[in-house]
Structure 1
Amino acid sequence: MRLKKVHVQNYRSIIDSEKFEVEGNKTIFVGPNEAGKTALLQAMQHLNPPKGIKPLNALRDYPRAHYNKITSGHVNPADVRVVEAEFELDAEDREYLPDGMKDANYSLWRNLDNSTGHSLIGAPAKIRYKDLEKDLIRLAAHADKQFTQSEGETEQSPTNRLKAVTDGWHEYVSIQGEKAQALLAWLDTVFPLIDEDNEKEEARFDSLKVEIKIGDERNIAVQALRKRVPVFVLFSNYFRVRPVIHLNQLATRIANGTLDDERYDYGNVCLLNLLGFDAKALSEMGATSEPDANDREALEAFREKLDERQYQLNAAEVSLTEEIRSVWNPDESRGEAAKLRLRADGQYLKVTVEDDLGVEVELDQRSEGFQWLVSFFIVFFAEAQGEHKNAVLLLDEPGMSLHALKQREFRNTITRLADGNQTLYTTHSPFLVGPDELDLVRVVEMNRREEGTKVHTSVIANDPAALLPLQEALGYDLAQSLFTQKQNLVLEGLTDYWYFEAVSELLRASKDANFNEKIALVPANTAGKVVYFATILHSQGFKVAALLDSDSAGDQAAKQDTLVHILGNKRILRTKDYLQDEIKTAEIEDLLRDTLIGVAKSEFGWDVSDIAAKQPKRPLVNIFESEVEEFSKYLLAKAFVRWSRDNESSDLSKRELEQWKKLIAAVNGALK
């Protein structure tokens, strides 16, 4: 199962985060200092924490300004919901759901007193007695007629037996457990008395049997799903693997339960777990002297143990070195190296790094960034691929000590790791937010302490500092394209960028059309700014084309003398020119009209299919804006990007496919 939505309340700086969506693989939280990003991750960890995590505590975790509500008794911690999440189920999870509930999702929450609750979302609700009462009475009355004719004992009639079963039940009692079993047993006695030619009563019997079972079926399903909830593992920048570990001292602290705080011992314990050893075993092995040379059997056993230990150390060295080098990319011409070495020597386990000359240097003599990277991979592989396999990883400000370019490489590593472990992380760094990842971003801000931390699913914020990493990420990428890409397509805005990139990837994967990878996509923010971007790029001697919507803003931009002079008419592309149907003021969304109507309905419940069918010449965005009060072009584009990751070009309609093939061919031709 995968985390889908989260809602955090009543936790430290968070009064009510409001419900926000989480991406299937990777989600990025950005925001200024003191916005509550760390608190957000800490609260999420309490959904299903690993062993050893301190439980929620009202004094420590309830918003301090409101703590008097707890002490005065006005608020009961058992009634305070702290974090709630909705999980989307995979095919294996759905095997635990009964028929009629296969499309449901699972919800889990934790309260301030550490109690938990769970439910199914999108499944039939639990049945109450009032929901069945009328049908039960009518079925009993029908059965009474048959019973009277055959038995003649009214005191044991179906109606009287039903009264005995339901005696004392109020109308809101939930039908589950013993109550459900009692009603099912009553139905079994009634079934032979139902006239088989009476289709209405036969259907009533079948319906009652299904409804009575719903409560227990839901209970069984949620209990099974609860066991399948991934563990939420929070990683902190403070975790460190020490260059020298004294095994006997660590084993003693573990045995006595007196481990130092997690900043010191956590990374060391993870290293031992990764190696498949515990501190005590390694310590005892280091303290054991070599057997007498004449005792060949004991000597062979001792040496085999040493060999086994060294083989495990070597295997860990190889896998960790491979992962670290994939991010670190050492420049061997300058003597850089990233070969990790693990050495067991008596009571000491040493972590060293070997340079290109074969010289080993202790880990703590390398840069802070390299130390962090080594520690991260050791903790990750020990936790996420061991006891917490398929965990949800919560990374708090990862890679802060890495150089900016190393952070860009580490961003790709997170993407790769997120394929197996859904990952959520906070960052201030623009280099950990890719320009093509803005749909994965959640903006965290706190404008007023009284309101607390808020999480925005769309890229909006009242505090400009919250958006700074995103602006810097786009600025860096744009700067790179301005000076390195000789061919550039300027688009009106970010959503146009998402649509064009997503569709071009779909068509490239299916070989329906091959958008020239050397062409850079440059979002200009608005149609009015297209001319400025085109002018800058043209002044550098680069080839430039522009894709403009056919609405009024696009018309104004297309008619600007400067733009026409720079690009010429052949490189000013208009969306309406690639549509099979005539839409005079078409926008880029109209090139995906059929798919976006379906995506909007399935994702948000925005159903405009009938109106769009009746008004084929009306722009799709105009229809959405008039029919959907909460419509957002941003949310629609983001939903399409998600859709594109799970679908193929063949899932586009035939006319959409032809329209985009024509557009991509035109762009390639204009910039060849």
Structure 2
Amino acid sequence: MILTNVELGPFRSINTAQNCTIDPKVTVLVGMNEAGKTVFLQGIHKACDALDVERFEVIEDYPRKDLTRYNKTHNEKPDNAIRLTYMPEEEDLTLVNKKHNTDLKLGFTYSLTTNYKNTRTIFIQIDEKPIISKIINAGSFTSDTVQHIKEATSIRKLVEILDDLDLNDSEQKTHEQLSTRLKASNWNNITEYEVFKTLDARLPKTLYFSDYDILPGKLNIKDLARRYKQSATDPSQLTPKHKSILALLRMADVSIDELSDIDGYESLKAKIEGVSNSLTDQIMQFWKQNENIEVVVDIQNDSKDDAPFNDGANIYLRIKNSRHRVTTPFDKRSRGFIWFFSFLVWFDSVQYQFNAEDEDRKLILLLDEPALALHALAQSDFLTYIDHLSENHQVIYTTHSPFMVNSDRLNQVRMIEDKDKIGTVISENISGSDPRTVFPLQAALGWDIAQNLFISKRNFLVEGPSELIFLKHLSSVLEAKSRICLNESITIVPTGGLDKIVTFIALLGASNLNIAVLHDFDGKNNQKIDEMIKNKIISPKSIKNTSMYTEQKDKPSDIEDLLSTKLYIDYFNKTFEKQLPDKIKISDLPIGSRIIERLNRYLKEKNISLRPSGGFNHYLVASTFGSNPPKAIDEKTLSNFENLFKDINSILD
């Protein structure tokens, strides 16, 4: 199950409901301090907390400026706090379709709305007509009965009709089964209820972690035991540092009673050290800053310490540096390591509690300013760890560090701003955001550019390296023939896809850089590019698509379609000659406007595998073209590229 959309508000600094799409893997919330990033995470957490302790509280959570007005209507008409939209994955749909005789497809979604009385409202739509047809076709009804029930639009209506009919034994058995299903719910659409109950049992719950949850260097055992006992009636007794130590003890399978047993300290210490060593091993998979450190645990008395540490035994956590052969208090050294280790303790502990009941259920991890204390390169290491987490769980995290943003995945970024008289605003529109908010993205992109690209005053943005190869070579050929080629002052910038082209326009367009764009065309307008044109961020004359330079104008096309079909097929055959059973001819290919799509269909139909993921690597064909260029190129291909270069030169003149 994947969370696909969040509509949050009114909630704290969010005065007006804000809609935010959620990436299937990782979503990054970027914004200045106090912009509302934490508010967004906490709003999600209150709606579906894995440990089921969070609730929406009117006094705490409703925007203060409207609280007096809202209190007058709260009891009779509570406002909605949040709406979460989920998309079942293939395994979820397989289970549902098999269990409930449905035929739901990938892309099916449903939503849950939670109000300020913490009541949920479910929105789910399933047509019961196909299910009724399956019930009728199962053969338990006579033709006369079928005539009466065939117009039923719901299972509930079907049962009402059957109630008034004289049924045989087989029909009566089906009638009883359907009636039993109806009694389980008062929903009009019984299938929607049944499907929802199945999906709800698989709903991903949230875990929230912030800088306040790090482990302390020491804690008094008697004080912890006393607080733990009192927390049954006063939850405030357990602060984050107490909860984090309890998490460590829980992982070591140590109870509070065992911890209070003075005679058992050696065995307790051994258990806790075992867990600490295991966690240290885990962290070292991703921690590359100093691989000579580990966490050690000690339990001892110190009557000379300040209260409450002078009363009985304390549990001490220390960091050992094997290179310097010293140990230091856990909370006094390497705050980045402390945060990382504390996170692992928290995550493993809560995951253990939650998965004890359902080990297959996925989680949504809400990380508030993770890795803030880490060195810039260590933050890059932590991004690798986030990718590791996202293999099994969705991750949503906040940051204002450029090193906590993957510059090749800026489509995962959501902007958070606090606007005067409006409150917190959440947006995917990078170009329309405050420059101070966008700065981490500019810095991240700048870092990437500094390492990988040379940006000039005239930039020709294309989707990938294949475009770069074809454009460079064809420009050289045309120049040798004294025909129009690409102006030598223009830099071709491969961005890594259409989504990233949009980001490059937004972030570079404001830097007085001249930009022209060429993108592949899928047959329809790109909404983000259209919005940029509408907002006058870039001129429509600067945006070109490949179909403009092919014979089939306004048909789906790629850069490869500017080459003649024969020329591209020749290089395709050269590239994969060892893997193809026979050379492919143009007449072998299915009809279509895109040569790549036609080749992919042909490979699939002939069950030819050129790579594990299917299809073929376009860059390999372009690479063969660049390393072993044709001795002669047909006039059609030359004209297509010449027309393109003429337009780009004009745009960037």
Aligned residue type for 1:3: L
Aligned residue type for 1:460: S
Per the alignment, residue 263 of structure 2 pairs with: 288
Per the alignment, residue 376 of structure 1 pairs with: 343
Per the alignment, residue 34 of structure 1 pairs with: 34
Compared with structure 1, are the counterparts of its residues 44 and 464 closer, same or farther at alpha carbon in structure 2 (3 Å cutoff)?
A: same
Structure 2 residue corresponding to 1:272, chosen from 243, 246, 249 = 249
1:54-89 deviations in whole A, cap 9, x for unaligned? Answer: 42122221222222332333x657542111111121
Instruction: Supply the distance in 2 between the matched residues of 1:461 and 1:188 (Cα, whole angstroms).
Output: 67
- The answer to whether residue 449 in structure 2 is matched with residue 478 in structure 1 is yes
Structure 1 residue corresponding to 2:321, chosen from 332, 355, 364 = 355
Instruction: Supply the distance in 2 between the matched residues of 1:321 and 1:19 (Cα, whole angstroms).
Output: 39
Q: How many angstroms does 1:414 deviate by?
A: 1.1
1:410-431 deviations in whole A, cap 9, x for unaligned? Answer: 1111111121221100100000
Per the alignment, residue 406 of structure 2 pairs with: 434
Q: How many angstroms does 1:619 deviate by?
A: 4.5
**SS of residue matched to 1:124:** coil
Contact 1:492 1:547 (8 Å CA) reproduced: no
Aligned residue type for 1:238: Y
- The answer to whether residue 13 in structure 2 is matched with residue 13 in structure 1 is yes
Q: How many angstroms does 1:365 deviate by?
A: 2.3
Aligned residue type for 1:492: F
Instruction: Supply the distance in 2 between the matched residues of 1:260 and 1:20 (Cα, whole angstroms).
Output: 36
Instruction: Supply the distance in 2 between the matched residues of 1:8 and 1:651 (Cα, whole angstroms).
Output: 45
**SS of residue matched to 1:96:** helix
Per the alignment, residue 104 of structure 2 pairs with: 102
**SS of residue matched to 2:124:** strand
Contact 2:14 2:63 (8 Å CA) reproduced: yes
1:619-652 deviations in whole A, cap 9, x for unaligned? Answer: 55899xxxxxxxxxxxxxxxxxxxxxxxx99995
Compared with structure 1, are the counterparts of its residues 354 and 660 closer, same or farther at alpha carbon in structure 2 (3 Å cutoff)?
A: closer
Structure 2 residue corresponding to 1:230, chosen from 184, 204, 218 = 204
**Counterparts of 1:250-329 in structure 2 under 5 Å?**
250-257=224-231, 258=234, 259-260=236-237, 262-284=239-261, 287-288=262-263, 307=267, 309=268, 312-329=271-288
Compared with structure 1, are the counterparts of its residues 184 and 20 closer, same or farther at alpha carbon in structure 2 (3 Å cutoff)?
A: farther
Contact 2:10 2:17 (8 Å CA) reproduced: no
Aligned residue type for 2:487: Q
**Counterparts of 1:114-125 in structure 2 under 5 Å?**
114-121=118-125, 123-124=126-127
Instruction: Supply the distance in 2 between the matched residues of 1:480 and 1:360 (Cα, whole angstroms).
Output: 39
Structure 1 residue corresponding to 2:389, chosen from 411, 417, 433 = 417
Contact 1:405 1:431 (8 Å CA) reproduced: yes
Compared with structure 1, are the counterparts of its residues 101 and 42 closer, same or farther at alpha carbon in structure 2 (3 Å cutoff)?
A: farther
Contact 2:112 2:120 (8 Å CA) reproduced: yes
Compared with structure 1, are the counterparts of its residues 45 and 331 closer, same or farther at alpha carbon in structure 2 (3 Å cutoff)?
A: closer
Structure 1 residue corresponding to 2:432, chosen from 449, 452, 461 = 461
1:23-71 deviations in whole A, cap 9, x for unaligned? Answer: 1111111122332211111111122113364421222212222223323
Higher helix share: 1
Segments of structure 1 that go 5 or more residues without pairing to the other structure are: 128-141, 147-157, 167-173, 194-211, 290-304, 505-514, 516-520, 523-543, 549-555, 576-584, 601-611, 624-647
Identity %: 23
Per the alignment, residue 560 of structure 1 pairs with: 487
**SS of residue matched to 1:459:** coil
Contact 2:370 2:397 (8 Å CA) reproduced: yes
Instruction: Supply the distance in 1 between the matched residues of 2:352 and 2:623 (Cα, whole angstroms).
Output: 42
1:326-374 deviations in whole A, cap 9, x for unaligned? Answer: 3432446xxxx32122334473322111112443222122122222222
Give me the TM-score of the superposition, normalised by structure 1.
0.61
Aligned residue type for 1:355: N
What is the number of equivalent residue pairs in this alignment? 481
Aligned residue type for 1:463: D
Structure 1 residue corresponding to 2:519, chosen from 588, 610, 619 = 588
Instruction: Supply the distance in 2 between the matched residues of 1:472 and 1:85 (Cα, whole angstroms).
Output: 32
- The answer to whether residue 222 in structure 2 is matched with residue 248 in structure 1 is yes
**SS of residue matched to 1:254:** helix
Instruction: Supply the distance in 1 between the matched residues of 2:219 and 2:321 (Cα, whole angstroms).
Output: 22
Instruction: Supply the distance in 2 between the matched residues of 1:225 and 1:231 (Cα, whole angstroms).
Output: 12
- The answer to whether residue 217 in structure 2 is matched with residue 218 in structure 1 is no
RMSD: 4.8
Which is further off, 44-53 or 370-379? 44-53
Compared with structure 1, are the counterparts of its residues 58 and 480 closer, same or farther at alpha carbon in structure 2 (3 Å cutoff)?
A: same
Compared with structure 1, are the counterparts of its residues 55 and 29 closer, same or farther at alpha carbon in structure 2 (3 Å cutoff)?
A: same
- The answer to whether residue 82 in structure 2 is matched with residue 86 in structure 1 is no
Compared with structure 1, are the counterparts of its residues 28 and 546 closer, same or farther at alpha carbon in structure 2 (3 Å cutoff)?
A: farther
Aligned residue type for 1:377: L
Instruction: Supply the distance in 2 between the matched residues of 1:500 and 1:352 (Cα, whole angstroms).
Output: 49
Aligned residue type for 2:49: P
1:386-417 deviations in whole A, cap 9, x for unaligned? Answer: 42663211111111111212111111111111
Per the alignment, residue 512 of structure 1 pairs with: none
**SS of residue matched to 1:466:** helix
Per the alignment, residue 60 of structure 1 pairs with: 60
**Counterparts of 1:566-581 in structure 2 under 5 Å?**
none
Aligned residue type for 1:317: S
Compared with structure 1, are the counterparts of its residues 372 and 547 closer, same or farther at alpha carbon in structure 2 (3 Å cutoff)?
A: farther
**Counterparts of 1:323-338 in structure 2 under 5 Å?**
323-331=282-290, 337-338=292-293
Compared with structure 1, are the counterparts of its residues 36 and 654 closer, same or farther at alpha carbon in structure 2 (3 Å cutoff)?
A: farther
**SS of residue matched to 2:622:** helix
**SS of residue matched to 2:204:** coil
Segments of structure 2 that go 5 or more residues without pairing to the other structure are: 131-142, 172-185, 302-312, 476-482, 498-515, 529-546, 559-595, 604-614, 630-653
